[in-house]
Amino acid sequence: MKRVLSILIIACGVLVAWGHKSVAQDIHFSQFYFSPLTLNPAHTGFFNGKHRFATNYKSQWKRASGGDPYVTFTGSYDVHILDKMMKAADMAGFGISFFSDKAGKGDLKTTGAFGSLAYHRDMIGNGKQLVSFGIQGGVVQVGFDRSKLRFGDEILSDSEAGTGQEVFERTSVVYADINAGLLWNYIYSKKMIFFLGLSTYHLTRPKVNFLTTTESNVLSNRTAIQAGASFSLTKEWDILPSFLYMIQKASNETNLGLAVRYNTKSEAAIRLGAWYRQWSNSDALIIMAGFEYMNITLGMSYDINVSTLKETSNGQGSFEIALIYILQSSKAIVQDMACPNF
């Protein structure tokens, strides 16, 4: 146990120190636990099965943005690799993911594609404690539509958008990016499973400049801490608490909540949960409902805005849907290893 903690502390220190030195804000999901490859690259290939497909869709701020919602979409696929070379409960995974995010009337769009690799090490030899390391690299494009933006001189002169004096050298930027993460999974028993993760993003410190200036608009590093557990109270009932804290320069976000899962006798399960998200002040209450059948998991959530913007949004926040599908492997994981299913 001390050996595992020592490795985690040293590795976490390296990740935080590397990433802290690196002004846009990243995408985020209310159902972060159903978006494994955007949550932490170390989740790549960490599941019971052979192939995993995941997708997430989010629409928010439709009322507050005058009818143009902020829309985010992601998709991912990851798979176990090198199974014949792995010993005990060791695993390795490879994954690919992509995302698309559109914000505001100016159609500020961010799209990206990434590849991920992760190694999951059985620290004791009985499949009870695994330490995982993941790395993720890809390309991102950020752009906007100048013709849809109206600046002060255009408003004062009652001119059309795009005809004013605001001139940009470029309206699209492409950059390479690297992310990394650590994960510790502890299976205390079949009824109690815990995990703790740390991930850091934008290790390349990419520059996102639409103007040629002496000042560099560096995309700030984002660091995230995740934790969760699964407690089986009976054969039918589970409690699934989860926690996420993210910080990106001056912005920070905290998500805390839990779901209750009811397992039926027909390989199906129903889950209901609630989370509370806070930025510098109260942000949203998240209500979630999910359904599981065999290897398919469907989650839906709605954010009830409780921030100072609730008067503008009339309390309306965002709607989100998540879907995960896992194909089983012909090779059973040794030691009856139970990967987290949060």
What are the residues facing 137 on neighbouring strands? 115, 178
3 state SS of 165: coil
User: At residue 329, does pLDDT exceed 80?
Assistant: no
In this structure, what are the phi and psi dihedrals at residue 278, rounded to the nearest 5 degrees? -130, 135
| Dihedral angle computed from the Cα positions of residues 342, 291, 47 and 204, in that order, rounded to the nearest 10 degrees | -70
**Which amino acid does the sequence have at 115?**
G
**pTM reported for the whole predicted model:** 0.80
E-only strand ranges, the chain: 51-60, 70-81, 91-103, 108-122, 129-143, 172-189, 192-201, 222-232, 237-248, 251-263, 268-278, 282-293, 296-305, 316-327
User: At residue 118, does pLDDT exceed 90?
Assistant: yes
User: At residue 179, does pLDDT exceed 90?
Assistant: yes
The length of the chain in residues reads 342
Query: b/e for 18-30, b at 16 or more Cβ within 10 A?
Result: ebeebebebbbbb
Per-residue pLDDT, averaged over 201-214, amounts to 80
**Which amino acid does the sequence have at 100?**
S
CB 267 within 8 A of CB 253: no
* pLDDT reported for residue 181: 96
User: At residue 239, does pLDDT exceed 70?
Assistant: yes
DSSP label at residue 172: E
Q: Report the alpha-carbon distance of residue 311 to residue 183 in Å, rounded.
A: 40
Per-residue pLDDT, averaged over 143-171, amounts to 69
Give 2's contacts (C-beta < 8 A, 6+ positions apart).
none
**Token pair for 84:** 């014949």
Residue 31 burial class via C-beta count within 10 angstroms: exposed 0-12, middle 13-18, buried 19 and up: buried
**Which amino acid does the sequence have at 318?**
S
User: At residue 320, does pLDDT exceed 50?
Assistant: yes
* Cα 15 to chain centroid, rounded: 18
Q: Report the alpha-carbon distance of residue 270 to residue 336 in Å, rounded.
A: 24
Could you read off the pLDDT of 68-83 as tens digits, one per residue? 778 999 999 999 898 7
Give 104's contacts (C-beta < 8 A, 6+ positions apart).
65, 68, 70
User: At residue 238, does pLDDT exceed 60?
Assistant: yes
What are the residues facing 184 on neighbouring strands? 131, 196
* pLDDT reported for residue 4: 39
DSSP label at residue 294: T
Could you read off the pLDDT of 240-278 as tens digits, one per residue? 999 999 998 878 889 999 999 999 988 899 999 999 998
Q: Report the alpha-carbon distance of residue 12 to residue 198 in Å, rounded.
A: 7
* pLDDT reported for residue 69: 77
* Confidence band of 225 (pLDDT split at 50, 70, 90): very high
Complete domains list, the chain, with CATH: 2-336 (2.40.160.40)
% of the chain exceeding 90 in pLDDT: 45
Q: Phi-psi bin for 82: left (phi > 0), alpha (psi -120 to 50), beta? A: left
User: At residue 18, does pLDDT exceed 70?
Assistant: no
Per-residue pLDDT, averaged over 299-317, amounts to 74
CB 109 within 8 A of CB 144: yes
* pLDDT reported for residue 124: 78
| Dihedral angle computed from the Cα positions of residues 30, 34, 36 and 37, in that order, rounded to the nearest 10 degrees | -70
* pLDDT reported for residue 13: 39
* pLDDT reported for residue 309: 64
Q: Report the alpha-carbon distance of residue 162 to residue 105 in Å, rounded.
A: 13
The better pLDDT of the pair 80, 62 is held by 80
